[in-house]
Amino acid sequence: MVQLLARLPGLGPRSARKAALALIKRREELLVPLASALTEAINKIVVCQECGNVDTTSPCSICSNPKRDRSMIVVVEEVGDLWALERAGVVTALYHVLGGHLSPLDGIGPDRLNIKALVERAGSGDVNEVLLALNATVEGQSTAHYLTEQLSGAGVEVSRLAQGVPIGGELDYLDEGTLAAAIRSRKRL
């Protein structure tokens, strides 16, 4: 158990031992419920065949929600990014989870990501806009570049997130690239 716990992100060998002891000590309130939650996850959690989200149903609760705007697809790298956007409550449209970003050095090419299904969804006729909500990292942006090319024949508008000063950001603490992007994309008032 310690060895498996240590393989969780954020837990080292020492904190894994501590976690294991806490589980054993608090058998009824922690160990038993966690064991049954993990078993439930094995049986119930599935990957949505539409968008790649994880949920207890496929299509997931977002894809099957009739209130969602079906004319737009928000493309994210990971399910964690989808959760971040849902927490913020800023997306009313559907998602598409790539499952990572292109990374030739790690052997992750286009065929390893959920790209083919995205191009098919974008060309289905319902969709007007594909918003590439990828990280502002080198890998995220080169993936966005590749996707833009792949989507060029789908007859949809392709957009990306705005880059600039984060809310609450003070100029003195920002890096050069962000300051340059913020000036380049300045907005008329």
Task: Determine if 160 is a binding residue for a second copy (CB under 8 A).
Answer: yes
Long-range Cβ pairs for the range 35-40 (8 Å, 24+): none
Do 97 and 82 meet the contact criterion of CB atoms below 8 Å apart? Answer: yes
Quick note: the x/- pattern for a second copy over 81-110, rule CB under 8 A, is x-xxx-xxxxx-------------------
Structure tokens at 110: 């286009």
Structure tokens at 41: 């996850």
Task: Determine if 27 is a binding residue for a second copy (CB under 8 A).
Answer: no
Burial of 85 (0-12, 13-18, 19+ CB in 10 A): middle
Interface stretch with a second copy, choices 17-25, 48-56, 116-124, 136-144 (CB under 8 A): 136-144
Euclidean distance between CA atoms 37 and 57, whole angstroms: 17
Task: Determine if 10 is a binding residue for a second copy (CB under 8 A).
Answer: no
Q: Using the minimum distance from each CB to a second copy, give the nearer residue, 17 or 146.
A: 146
Residue type, 27: R
Q: Using the minimum distance from each CB to a second copy, give the nearer residue, 50 or 78.
A: 78
Residue type, 11: L
Rounded to a whole number of angstroms, the minimum distance from the CB of residue 145 to a second copy is 9
DSSP string for 90-110: ---EEEEE-SS--BGGGTB-G
Interface stretch with a second copy, choices 49-57, 61-69, 108-116, 127-135 (CB under 8 A): 127-135
- Nearest in space to 83 (alpha carbons), one of 44, 129, 52: 52
Q: Which of 97, 102, 115, 132 binds a second copy (CB under 8 A)?
A: 132
Task: Determine if 9 is a binding residue for a second copy (CB under 8 A).
Answer: no
Interface stretch with a second copy, choices 26-34, 51-59, 108-116, 154-162 (CB under 8 A): 154-162
Interface stretch with a second copy, choices 47-55, 57-65, 77-85, 102-110 (CB under 8 A): 77-85
> H/E element holding 27?
none
Which residues of this chain interact with a second copy, rule CB under 8 A? Answer: 76-78, 80-81, 83-85, 87-91, 131-133, 135-137, 140, 144, 148, 157-172, 174-189
